[in-house]
């Protein structure tokens, strides 16, 4: 299957799904505090998604059990919310949410610190990961390539001595959560498929403070850094437009 081209009408629908995802993430972030469990975050998200008239995208996807992925510290992505998992001051928690509304998907993630005190290195990791996503979004326009996106992420991340996860990538998104193309967070400028007006991508750098290798735990989902180092993750759904780029999840 080729990379889908979405009409302005379709992109408008994706903007609405994206706005729901944003509101859910804001709502969940307000519930992040020491002593809260990741199941508390899941419940807050479930209620908000329903209130906004959308449906969760992750729950049931390949058997995934929840509407959020909540990944703490050395967990990279796909952490499963649980009543046993209590947030502590200084933890980093990545909150990833996808919804579908009117047939169109939105997908976004943020990483936030729990409580008021966070180690400088952890703060730096979050800042650099967010900056790498911003830099990648800034190169998106018709005529740019997937390699330009990956190179932008990689440059920002590696300049700080952090590493880009290779085992998971961003993706096209539209009437399915995962569509072509794969959107790696590494690559060479000018390489890969050319972006065209109407393409919609979920760009999602996953950045480790230490080495890039990850492994999946026995729950079949939770990906953790192999060296136990911290990891951060940010994601936006963006569309290539005649004006350059539109962030649909903000
Ligand atoms: N944002 C992630 C992704 O695009 C989350 C998917 S979790 C899953 O792959 F459970 F739905 F797989
Ligand atoms: Co995604």
DSSP state of 39: H
Domain 8-247 has CATH 2.10.69.10: no
Collapse the DSSP code of 10 into the 3-class scheme (helix H, G, I; strand E, B; otherwise coil) and give the result: helix
CA of 69 to the centre of ligand 2 (A): 11
Q: Which residues make beta-bridge pairs with 203?
A: 236
User: Average pLDDT over the chain, rounded to whole?
Assistant: 98
Size of the chain, expressed as the number of residues it contains: 250
Q: Label residue 192 left, alpha or beta by phi (over 0 means left) and psi (-120 to 50 means alpha).
A: left
Residue with tokens 């469990």: 37
Sign of CA dihedral 39, 40, 43, 49: negative
* Ligand 1 binding pocket includes 179 (Cβ within 6 Å): no
| Domain residue extents for the chain | 8-247
**Residue 1 pLDDT exceeds 90:** no
Distances (CA, A) of 48 to 28, 40, 99, 105, 119: 9, 12, 11, 16, 31
Contact between 236 and 203 under an 8 Å Cβ cutoff? The reply is yes
C-alpha atoms less than 13 angstroms from C-alpha of 53 in its C-beta half-sphere: 7
* Ligand 1 binding pocket includes 105 (Cβ within 6 Å): no
Contact between 191 and 171 under an 8 Å Cβ cutoff? The reply is no
Q: What is the pTM of this model?
A: 0.98
Over residues 180-191, the mean pLDDT reads 98
**Residue 4 pLDDT exceeds 80:** yes
């Amino acid at each position: 299957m080729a990379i889908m081209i979405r009409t302005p009408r379709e992109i408008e629908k994706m903007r609405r799904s994206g706005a729901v995802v944003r509101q859910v993430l804001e709502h969940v972030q307000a519930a992040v505090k020491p002593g809260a469990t990741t199941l508390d975050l899941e419940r807050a998200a479930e209620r908000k998604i329903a209130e906004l008239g959308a449906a969760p995208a992750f729950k049931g996807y390949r058997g995934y059990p929840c509407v959020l992925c909540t990944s703490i510290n050395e967990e990279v992505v796909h952490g499963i919310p649980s009543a046993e998992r209590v947030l502590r001051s200084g933890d980093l928690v990545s909150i990833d949410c996808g919804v579908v509304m009117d047939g169109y998907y939105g997908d976004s993630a943020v990483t936030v610190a729990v409580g008021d005190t966070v180690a400088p290195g952890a703060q730096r990791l979050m800042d650099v990961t967010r900056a790498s996503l911003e830099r990648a979004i800034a190169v998106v326009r018709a005529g740019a390539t997937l390699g330009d996106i990956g190179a932008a992420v990689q440059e920002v991340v590696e300049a700080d001595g952090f590493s880009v996860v290779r085992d998971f990538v961003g993706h096209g998104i539209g009437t399915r959560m995962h569509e072509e193309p794969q959107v790696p967070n590494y690559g060479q400028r000018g390489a890969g498929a050319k972006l065209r007006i109407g393409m919609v991508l979920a760009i999602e750098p996953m950045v480790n403070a230490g080495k890039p290798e990850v492994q999946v735990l026995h729950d079949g989902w939770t990906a953790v850094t192999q060296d136990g180092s911290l990891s951060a993750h940010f994601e936006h759904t963006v569309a290539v437009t005649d004006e350059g780029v539109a962030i649909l999840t903000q």
